Amino acid sequence: MKVFKLNLPLYLVLILVCGAFAGGKYILSNGKSEVTSPQMANSCPSAMDQIRLKDYELTHPLILTDISTQSDALKSIQNKITEYVNQAKANQKADDISVYFRRLDNGSWFAINPNATYNPASMIKIAYLITYMKMAELNPGVLNSKVFFAKHFSQGNNQNIKDFQLKEGVNYTVKDLLTAMIAHSDNDATLLLSQNMNTTIYDNIFKDLNIPIPNPVAEYFISVNDYCKFYRVLYSSTYTRPEYSEYALKLLTLSTFKDGLKKGLDENVVIAHKFGERIIGNKAQLHEFGIVFYNKEPYLIGVMTTGNSLPLLSEIVGEISRIAYQDYKTLSNS
């Protein structure tokens, strides 16, 4: 007896099998084709906002994408923080508090009191950092170039939280100055860097991210929804090349400030963060933003506050961080 053999490609066999299965299903359903609603459609956001660079004629690189609506999945964290914020204001611990929270793995987010604006104080130094990363893209040698520090700036002495000071009469590399500016929030290093940076690149950062450009002769204010963009483009590396985004974030993990977001985290958790503080008369401001690298599911959190007491504002920032972290751990592990 002869056995008939037919050599067919594997992909054709799969097509025939799938076709036979579909035909059988059609016959069993009395010839009525089955219509099902696609499951993925339920998870698609209804609206999205995008920020694109428009420096080129034909390409518009995407640098930021936002789901327009705040996330229901984060409601537990949002509600607990909102309750605490209302209580802190009712107890006159602060005049105003704004909070921003974002899961960086999926883009879900929420903001509390997002329209309030604050003087960012030393938090604006992250824009200087990004400026130098962009300068290094054009000329990598800029980070190792040296700048002479003659003496302390008079306007650099208005720091209330300080743990480091440059030495007068010393040549510092730009890398050294960036570390002093970010890790120690040193104002002398910041002013020295500002004198030597490309101001066009600096202004373009704000323009490209749709953030109001600072006026050098006027007080500057910014909201949590705008400020978060600096961290977001560093994390996603959509504005600077990956090696420079990584360099910037590693510098931010060296911050020595521990009286804010870090108070609410487990000791071994890595956070890339920058704080800002300011006292004018009897009014104080304390702000901090940071990326918390928890369990390979990092999140961005920012708190901006005004009130009468830096210690009380420090307590508020730390407690909001604790609430977010504890609830996020539960959410992440569920």
d(CA 224, CA 290): 12
Residue 84 pLDDT class (50, 70, 90 cuts): very high
- In the numeric block, which tokens belong to residue 111? 């903001």
Superfamily of domain 48-333: DD-peptidase/beta-lactamase superfamily (3.40.710.10)
Has residue 8 got a pLDDT over 60? no
Bridge partners of 287, per DSSP, are 276, 304
Please, are residues 61 and 53 in contact by the beta-carbon 8 Å criterion?
Answer: yes
Predicted model pTM: 0.84
d(CA 52, CA 47): 16
> Burial level of 200, CB count in 10 A (0-12/13-18/19+)?
exposed
Domain boundaries, the chain: 48-333
Res 42: pLDDT: 41
Has residue 227 got a pLDDT over 60? yes
